[in-house]
Amino acid sequence: MDDIGHPQMIQDIRRIVLTREVAQGGMCVVYEAKLLGCEGFAKRVAVKMLRSRWARDERFMRQFIGEAKLVCDLVHENIAQIYQLGRLPGGDYYIVMEFVDGLSLRDFMTHHFSRGRRIPPPLAVHIASRIARGLAFAHAFKDRQGRPLQIVHRDVCPNNILITTEGLSKLIDFGVAKALSQTVMDDRWLTGKVRYMSPEQAARRTVDFRSDIYSLGAVLFEMLSGTTVRPPEANPQTDDFAAMHPPWHRLPRDTDSELMVLMERALAADPARRHQDANQMAWALEYQIYKDGYGPTIQTVEAYLREHFPDLYRRGPPPPAGRVVRRPAASADEQAETVAEEMPGPVAR
Ligand SMILES: Nc1ncnc2c1ncn2[C@@H]1O[C@H](COP(=O)(O)OP(=O)(O)O)[C@@H](O)[C@H]1O
Ligand SMILES: [Mg+2]
């Protein structure tokens, strides 16, 4: 007890009800869930778990735990926030995080390109600028001792960017992110998506935040052109991978010349020729959309989503409660850690 009679530790009995499977990523399943408190308190959250195929693999498990611990203090409007790392009695870990209500940039792009439509360039640049701000924040983030962690995301791609119904763009999935001190690519596996990967990452050289700048440039290029900077079958093991030029001719003819210069810079094979930090890139992107006066804001994005994705704004009845992930009464030595207990019952799909 402290001197005003409050305990120094709170034994938090969390109950998390998984209500719906939202998506299956490469390695993870993500659920919409409710975090229950007392007096009917219920907060909408997302719960991410490793798919059973990967859950027993030490390497992926470490990566998953690493994601939670590395980014739990990153609080920024353009990064989905992580609240908790927990473990089921069977040993599987899960991450509780902010639920991002909206759609992925991948779905946003597919919606346009499958109908032969363009994404309005100012919106594309606005989305990229927001992600650049989120990256700049992560790159510059310091630990509690004030030491810069120099986090590199390493997997910036359209599946890892979500757009909320309020028009905010958020970066997710720091699963392969690392602090700079850990970035020597001695891994057996190459992690990240080849189509968005910087040449130095593909060559398994040490990467720094300029690698994320390249990947964001690749995402912007695809939003504007409907084509990826390199084909999915490009082989990162070959020498011509780094020399491969983006298909510039696929950009619309009316692409602003300054925007072209910006993309050429972000996509330079040599990191020294790119923007030297994500804030610099964010500034250049913002200049693009605001130089002629009032440019797009999150309200513009929201209005656009309301018009083109009306289903996102139609709320159905609340989904039935499915499997309950509940924290049991903790023993003294478990008090600092949330160990959850799995209750029987199917997950509503
Ligand atoms: N916080 C969240 N809120 C809502 N949907 C999410 C959230 N996090 C992830 N998702 C959805 O789940 C998918 C996979 O999540 P992700 O973290 O990228 O896992 P993976 O490591 O398997 O790629 C995402 O592309 C997105 O559609
Ligand atoms: Mg992902």
Going along the chain from its start, the domains and CATH numbers come out as 16-100+314-325 (3.30.200.20), 102-305 (1.10.510.10)
- Which phi and psi (to 5°) does residue 155 adopt? -145, 45
Query: What pLDDT was estimated at residue 192?
Result: 64
Q: Rounded CA gap, 145 and 98, in Å?
A: 26
Of all protein residues, whose CA lies closest to atom 20 belonging to ligand 1? Answer: 25
pLDDT at 268: 96
Q: Considering every ligand atom, which ligand is closest to the CA of 44?
A: 1
Its pTM stands at 0.87
Active-site annotation holder among 3, 57, 155, 187: 155
Question: Best substitution site from 19, 27, 30 to test ligand 1's pocket, by max atoms within 8 Å of Cβ?
Answer: 30
Alpha helices per DSSP H over the chain: 52-55, 58-71, 105-113, 121-140, 199-202, 209-225, 240-243, 257-266, 278-290, 298-308
CA–CA dist 288, 272 (Å, integer): 22
**Residue 320: per-residue pLDDT:** 52
Mean pLDDT, the chain cut into blocks of 10 residues (349 residues total): 80 88 87 95 94 81 85 94 91 93 97 97 98 97 88 93 98 75 45 83 89 97 96 77 86 96 97 96 97 93 98 73 42 30 31
| Short-list 169, 18, 9, 176, CA closest to 96 | 18
Task: Give the model's pLDDT for residue 319.
Answer: 53
Three-class SS of residue 295?
A: coil
Distance 322 CA to ligand 1 centre (A): 19
d(CA 155, CA 150): 15
pLDDT of 166: 98
DSSP 8-state code for residue 13: -
For CA atoms 45, 63, 138, 145, the dihedral sign is: positive
Nearest CA-CA partner of 105 in 269, 277, 305, 288: 305
Task: Looking at the CA of residue 27, tell me the nearest atom of ligand 1.
Answer: 22
CA distance 26 to 21: 15
Q: How many CB atoms lie within 10 A of CB 188?
A: 5
pLDDT in tens, 43-58: 999 999 988 777 788 8
Q: What angle do CA 65, 68, 69 make, to 5 degrees?
A: 85
| 212 is annotated as an active-site residue | no
List the beta bridge partners of residue 45.
Answer: 33, 98
List the Cα angle 248/193/261 in 5-degree steps.
30
Residue 28 has which token pair?
A: 């993870």
